[in-house]
């Protein structure tokens, strides 16, 4: 039995059902009203437990956050795919179940992933977020992100603006 309240570790195959649930709950909370309902449901339905098993099999880096042994959030991360940011690493996704948001757990997960990327020689980090997702934008600003660029994403025939935040090096 562990006495730690917060556990941050690499995801395992046994976590795939929990990852699918976290993704679904977080996306419904974050994007309901931002994305059309049909588009949102399609995006969520694509990320079932089999998708997560495949991601792990492909070597996707996934960190899971558990609170009192209950999976509460996750982050995916790796080399930066965003051209012209000058960053080495990227946090592709960082999501918490709605009931765990605003309590400092996201900050702990974010910092842990940044440290992991820095240890892998990727000290500069970028994140992209839908500009209409005000809570996410406020979170990334609160953890020191600087707006570095804007981009666009197409979904369901709509063009949505993305905000790209950057952290040039890890602060110690």
Note the pLDDT of residue 123: 94
Model pLDDT, residue 37: 85
Q: What is the pLDDT of residue 3?
A: 55
With b for 16 or more beta-carbon neighbours within 10 A and e for fewer, the 52-73 pattern comes to bbebbeeeebbbbbbbeeebbb
- pLDDT means per 10 residues, the chain with 172 residues, are 79 97 93 83 92 97 96 97 92 97 96 97 96 95 96 84 90 52
**156 within 8 A of 39, measured Cβ to Cβ:** yes
- State if pTM tops 0.75: yes
Domain with residues 6-167, CATH architecture = 3-Layer(aba) Sandwich (3.40)
Give the pLDDT score at 171. 53
- Name the E strands within the chain: 6-10, 61-67, 70-79, 89-96, 125-130, 146-155, 158-167
pLDDT at 35: 80
């Amino acid at each position: 039995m562990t006495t730690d309240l917060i556990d941050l570790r690499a995801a395992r195959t046994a976590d795939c059902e929990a990852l699918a649930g976290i993704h679904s709950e977080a996306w419904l909370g974050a994007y309901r009203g931002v994305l059309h309902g049909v588009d949102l449901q399609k995006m969520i339905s694509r990320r079932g437990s089999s998708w997560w098993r495949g991601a792990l099999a492909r070597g996707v880096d996934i960190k899971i956050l558990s609170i009192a042994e209950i999976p509460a959030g996750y982050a995916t991360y790796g080399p930066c795919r965003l051209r012209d940011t000058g960053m080495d690493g990227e946090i592709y996704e960082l999501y918490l179940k709605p009931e765990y948001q605003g309590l400092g757990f996201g900050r702990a997960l974010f910092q842990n992933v940044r440290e992991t990327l820095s240890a892998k020689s990727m000290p500069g980090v970028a994140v992209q977020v839908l500009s209409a997702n005000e809570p996410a934008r406020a979170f990334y600003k609160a953890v020191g992100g600087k707006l570095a660029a804007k981009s666009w994403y197409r979904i369901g025939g709509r063009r949505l603006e993305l905000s790209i935040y950057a952290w040039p090096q890890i602060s110690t």
